Chains A and B, each alone.
Chain A
Amino acid sequence: MTDNEIYNQWKNQKIDIPVGGKFTDNVMSGIHRQEQQRRTGFYNRELLYRLLSRRFVKAALITVGFVGGLLRIASVIGFILGSCMEAKGGLIW
């Protein structure tokens, strides 16, 4: 047997990789699963959009944002005033 013949035999063996009988079915069921998940995600997003488009949800979100903003401003003012008082107190002392 020549080197070429041996090489070709090896090569043919490497070309002829068996594919499992259920390979295509497994891929397709995986694809369907992916598709299902994607759709579920889409519906969730749609649900979120639907919720956001309702007036009372919008009002609630705006109120929460407004109150949150007020609290934040109050805390900043409190911090500034506090540090001013401390600085004054320090000078007097």
Chain B
Amino acid sequence: MMDEIEVINRILHGQVDAFRCLVLRYEKPVMCLVANLVGDIHTGEDIAQEVFFAAYRKLGSYDPERSRFSTWLFTIARNLSLNAMKKRIPNVMDDLPETIYTTTPDDEVARKEFFQQLDKKLDTLPPCQKAVFVMAEFVGLSYEEISQIEDIDIGTVRSRISRAKAALRSLFNQEIQNDR
């Protein structure tokens, strides 16, 4: 694989097709971040495309001295996703089942149902908390990288993640209580 900076320089010097390299390298993590933030794969794919278009347009403003390319790209992805989330009509909590399931999620159906509940719980988190959680848990970014993307200190990243985890854990607790 070519060095990222070299690829960027090539693009900036008119080799448009070199951008394919960056798309191939980052399509999966960008898609993971965006789709999990907006909560829909199809919308996620559209936004992920927008992320790469925006990255191409702004590539001249990317400063390798300030941040890694991935950090810069994920910042664009995060911002576009949060904008899309603001525009989206909230559909959270409206179809959560009244009673949280009565069986342990061992069998397939119950597990799927439980996963849906986890998805919905994730959707109810405040956007900034959700973004940090998704970046850490699903995209696998380091706390340092997240703190740069979110422009917050690492302590805040940690606390947001632990609050998000606590909210999700509450579902497990409910499940155990219902099981008794």
Contacts and interface: CB of A to CB of B under 8 A. Distances in A.
Interface of A: 1, 3, 6-7, 9-11, 13-15, 17-20, 23-24, 26-28, 30-32, 34-35
B1 interface: no
Interface size bracket, B side:
35 or more
Contacts of B172: 3, 6-7
B12 interface: no
B31 A27 contact: no
A28 B105 contact: no
B115 A10 contact: yes
A24 B24 contact: yes
Contacts of A34: 53, 56-57
A67 B118 CA distance: 73
Contacts of A23: 23, 27, 31, 45, 48-49
Secondary structure of the A contact surface, majority rule: helix
Given A15-B138, A30-B53, A31-B56, A24 B114 contact: no
Interface stretch (B13-21, B64-72, B74-82, B152-160): B13-21
B116 to A, nearest CB: 10
Contacts of A24: 20, 23-24, 27
**Ranked 8 nearest A-B pairs via Cβ:** A27-B52, A3-B172, A17-B35, A14-B138, A17-B32, A19-B31, A24-B23, A27-B23
Interface in B129-179: 134, 137-138, 140, 168-169, 172
Interface string B20-36: 10011001100110011
